[in-house]
Amino acid sequence: MVGTLEVEIIDADIIEALQEIITEAPRLARRFVDIKLKGDLALDMLERFRSLTPPPQTFPLTWPSAKQRRFVMAKLRGDNNLPYQRTGQLQNGWRVNFLTESDTILMTLDNEAPHWRFVVGGIITADSVRQPMFPHWFDADEIVLQFSEMAQDRVITFWTSIVDAPKGTFR
């Protein structure tokens, strides 16, 4: 099962503003989206996610309940992974995709590791999915939001450079 974080990086308002750029400089606009957003941004994001590895776990582990401890230990025993060894599946399993709809561009971050959401979720709360035995792993939602903001900043900067250029410059 693939886990997905989905973020709207370019919403309807920005798409509307981009219509002016697409009319004025269609090839440049396409290159910008393909290279600066789908290329550079995706590579930067993958590099960031793949480089984030927390330090080894400190012992003893704190378990919310004996039931959870038994479940996890049984799972690790069943996977023949005791003592537990990191496989790198989570760290190396990240993929970035872009979905273009009529009035938005969505960026999705996928990971094929079945346990990804238990490890890199948001802040740990009483009802969160993230497990407290992984306290040093990063918050994937927060990093995706940072990259979404970077994408919007890049679009705005690009839009400004096209709008401020003399008419006909990019034809």
155 phi, psi to nearest 5 deg: -65, -45
The full set of domain ranges for the chain reads 3-55+89-163
* Spatial contact of 147 and 37, defined as CB atoms under 8 Å apart: no
Is the pLDDT at 48 greater than 80, yes or no?
Answer: yes
Looking at residue 102, its pLDDT comes to 66
137-152 pLDDT, tens digit per residue, is: 777 778 888 888 888 8
Distance separating alpha carbons of residues 60 and 100, to the nearest angstrom? 47
pTM comes to: 0.68
94-149 pLDDT, tens digit per residue, is: 888 877 776 677 777 888 887 777 777 655 555 555 555 566 677 777 888 888 88
More confident residue, 22 or 133: 22
- End-to-end distance of the chain based on CA atoms, in angstroms? 46
